[in-house]
Structure 1
Amino acid sequence: MIRKQKIQMSVLGVLVLWLVGCTQGVATRPLPTLIPSNTPLPATDTAQPTIVATFTAVPTVEVEIAATATPFPTITAVPTSTPLPGLHLSGPDDFGTERNPLTGEIVAEPENLLRRPLAIKVSNSPPQYARPQHGLSQADLVFEHVTETDITRFTAIFYSQTPPDIGPVRSARLIDKELPAMYDAALAMSGAHPVVSQRLHGSDIGDRILRSHETGFYRTGDDKPWEHTLHADPAGLWQAIAAHEEDRPPQFTAWMTFATAPLPGGEPAARVTVAYDTYTLVEWVYNAADGRYYRWADGEPTIDANNGQQITAANVILLTAIHEIDRSICLTHSNGVCSDWPIEIQIWGQGEAILLRDGKQYPVTWLRQNRSDLFTFVDANGNPVPLQIGNSWFQVLPHYYVNPVTILPN
């Protein structure tokens, strides 16, 4: 079956303006002043950097997309490269009992690694109610993805650290049947559409789903719409998981790879903008002083309300995946006719991505061959591509977006 869909933005091969293309016809701005990760946000607005979020209009066109996506060709990862110098982590023996397998970092409290990771849904819309979020600076991994209307939402994976507050917590989507399976995590959410909820609870993660009535959730009492007032104390969520008899160390069937040494090759990538249609403009700016990317959204620094610090990441992954409308689930009826359906983000098999680390960009293929596998990355020859040690932020992008990413070398 073929359907017609309006598309404004396509696969990552045409998505990124590479180094030469980026510098032609693109008006560059001076780099904003970075907020160091250990410095509280200044109290005055005048000290804030100003970035004007702009969008380039793209004509809307009608195209035909097959209802069943064409699978990517299979790549078999056969490592042939010489090991990199410095610290290199690639399997359970390398991580031991004190190193976080999701970040490669030695953790301050190794006993935290004996608990199950939490995948918590965090709101990003509308900005006046959702931002600044609480707790994201202490997440090991964050996935930003579109919902059914191109607004974005986060699934944040918490494992090694225990922030005092996480939120606002919102409802789950179909992608949340996959992410907890990948990281052997429990899912914490405010709820979900009844059919989506049925699919989540009927899957292999069903026994480790936490909803708003569980221990650890609470309402803030803030003067805002009720649906934006749910927060979570993760210590309480881990208690709830224990009550479900589901709290245990994660069991991984694949391992993330990390290396401290700079990777060979790559092109400079000092400033990266990611446009989620016309909803939000995300910007990452590399700071050579600490080797991290700093995040902005719609011209404002992304701040963790728990500590006033700007969100940073050691790795930013621009990951393209097939997004299909699931017409078996109707989210909204209008005059007896369905007008809104959920998006199934197909984060299985393999696809294209760009890894940003150490101020450079590296084209990679992401792999997830089995349901219990987490994301791993290989180059064009099938060699594993390691992440830098530290947290990672995934910008999950629809395959039908056209040029949503701009990468500038300086």
Structure 2
Amino acid sequence: MKKWTIAIIVLLLAIGAGGVYWMMQEEEKPENGKEEPAEPGEEPDSQAFAPFTGITEGGPYMSRPVLAVINNHPDARPQTGLNEADIVFEFIAEYNITRFAALYQSTFPQEVGPIRSARDYFVNLAAAYDAFFVAHGYSPEAYTMLQSGMVDHINGIDYDGSLFQRSTDRVAPHNSYITYDNIKLGMEMVNASPDYSTEAPYAFIQGTVNGKISEQASTLEVRYGQDPNFTSAFTYDETAQRYKRSSGGIPTVDKETLQQTEVANVLVFEADHETIDAKGRQSIDLESGGKALLFQSGGVREIEWISQGGMLIPAANNETVELVPGKRGSISCPLNPEWNNRSATPLEKGQK
């Protein structure tokens, strides 16, 4: 099985009801107030489909996305609210320490955290997804972008002890949390629109996965250097039809519910990056696209990834690749191509 030794990003989406994504638009009703029956082949009311998961239950999905930066240091685990995210991006923040950016739109957690500081690539993602951006602190590059008004945002530096609260069971910087009620309050305070407005170009499978996936791969490991605390593993559960995530050999669970993170699609993207300062911060190329691996239903397929308006999209033969619909998503950050011992390794079925 092939081993990748340069930068990676991982996208995960948990399994859900069948469906396909359509842009959510409010349709005008006929003058008699009754809905006309759809003709064969016509799309149903697109408001019923969540744009980042393809799920059909619980709509309409008209809320503005929220992108929150979440700490992934071992002292910050287990985190709160990751399992409610539609997509979670995981990137190296400095050296081999990773950080999450959780995108919420179809559902929102009661509380999320620990919240951590922004990087420029997180701000770029928030702008691309037209998400309200939540972080606590920032790198110099991210600070300049936030001050420019590039994205609507709130930051724990400005609202520590008010919108953001410190837990007493952990020490700073691993103890900053925010409730969704306070995120909504923050939107009001900075006059940010609460409404969804950006089309998401993801596509979702109707029915079951077919023979496009040709090679068995029930376990995936994503390694960030020699520290096992930043080795993520995803093991496919055939009964649940989901990949269960662990980190450093410990299951990734929600702090409040103890529910393990489970996903149906795992996307591994190659992306160039480099260390830009003495603190190990990274510059990451999220525009050029590149090679990718797609894991679904216990199999793997080689594809590509592209940037579409700054959104990270799986593609093959210039067409968007369909994902299994569902809740909870996650993405892992690119690695330094000079670190040849860092790799994403899909393992043969049955290997540990």
CA distance in 2, matches of 1:198, 1:315: 35
* Superposed counterparts of 1:111-260, under 5 Å: 113-125=61-73, 127=74, 129-202=75-148, 204-205=150-151, 207-214=152-159, 216-222=163-169, 224-260=170-206
CA distance in 1, matches of 2:287, 2:7: 16
Residue identity matched to 2:211: P
Residue identity matched to 1:170: R
State whether structure 2 residue 205 is matched by structure 1 residue 273. Answer: no
Match of residue 260 from structure 2: 310
State whether structure 2 residue 312 is matched by structure 1 residue 366. Answer: no
Match of residue 45 from structure 1: none
CA distance in 2, matches of 1:192, 1:284: 30
Deviation at 1:108, TM superposition (A): 2.4
CA distance in 2, matches of 1:250, 1:281: 35
Residue identity matched to 1:351: G
State whether structure 2 residue 331 is matched by structure 1 residue 397. Answer: no
Deviations 1:40-84 (A, max 9, x none): xxxxxxxxxxxxxxxxxxxxxxxxxxxxxxxxxxxxxxxxxxxxx
Deviation at 1:131, TM superposition (A): 0.7
CA distance in 2, matches of 1:319, 1:95: 33
Match of residue 407 from structure 1: 346
Match of residue 23 from structure 1: none
- Unmatched 5+ residue regions in structure 2? 10-14, 25-42
- When residues 200 and 353 of structure 1 are mapped into structure 2, their CA distance, relative to the original with a 3 A threshold, is farther
| Contact 1:178/1:347 (<8 A) preserved | no
Deviation at 1:88, TM superposition (A): 3.7
Scaled by the length of structure 1, the TM-score of the pair is: 0.70
Match of residue 247 from structure 2: 297
Say which structure, 1 or 2, has more relative contact order (CA 8 Å, 6+ apart).
2
- When residues 399 and 228 of structure 1 are mapped into structure 2, their CA distance, relative to the original with a 3 A threshold, is closer
SS in 2 for 1:104: coil
CA distance in 2, matches of 1:341, 1:11: 15
CA distance in 2, matches of 1:109, 1:94: 13
Deviation at 1:303, TM superposition (A): 0.8
Instruction: Give aligned-pair identity as a percent.
Output: 27
| Contact 1:147/1:153 (<8 A) preserved | yes
Larger Rg: 1
Residue identity matched to 2:187: I
Once superposed, which parts of structure 1, at least 4 consecutive aligned residues long, lie more than 6 Å away?
Answer: none
SS in 1 for 2:108: coil
State whether structure 2 residue 314 is matched by structure 1 residue 377. Answer: yes
- When residues 193 and 183 of structure 1 are mapped into structure 2, their CA distance, relative to the original with a 3 A threshold, is same
| Contact 1:91/1:257 (<8 A) preserved | no
| Contact 2:123/2:142 (<8 A) preserved | no
- When residues 357 and 212 of structure 1 are mapped into structure 2, their CA distance, relative to the original with a 3 A threshold, is farther
- When residues 370 and 160 of structure 1 are mapped into structure 2, their CA distance, relative to the original with a 3 A threshold, is closer
Deviation at 1:278, TM superposition (A): 1.7
Residue identity matched to 2:307: R
- When residues 208 and 94 of structure 1 are mapped into structure 2, their CA distance, relative to the original with a 3 A threshold, is farther
The one of 10, 33, 48 aligned to 2:6: 10
CA distance in 1, matches of 2:296, 2:220: 12
The one of 352, 355, 379 aligned to 2:291: 352
Deviations 1:264-294 (A, max 9, x none): 3321110111111123211100111121110
Deviation at 1:360, TM superposition (A): 1.3
SS in 2 for 1:89: coil
Deviation at 1:262, TM superposition (A): 0.6
- Unmatched 5+ residue regions in structure 1? 1-7, 16-36, 38-85, 331-338
Match of residue 36 from structure 2: none
Match of residue 209 from structure 2: 262
Match of residue 27 from structure 2: none
Match of residue 322 from structure 2: 386
Aligned residues: 312
Residue identity matched to 2:251: P
Compute the RMSD of aligned alpha carbons. Answer: 2.5
Residue identity matched to 2:6: S
Residue identity matched to 1:384: T
SS in 2 for 1:228: coil
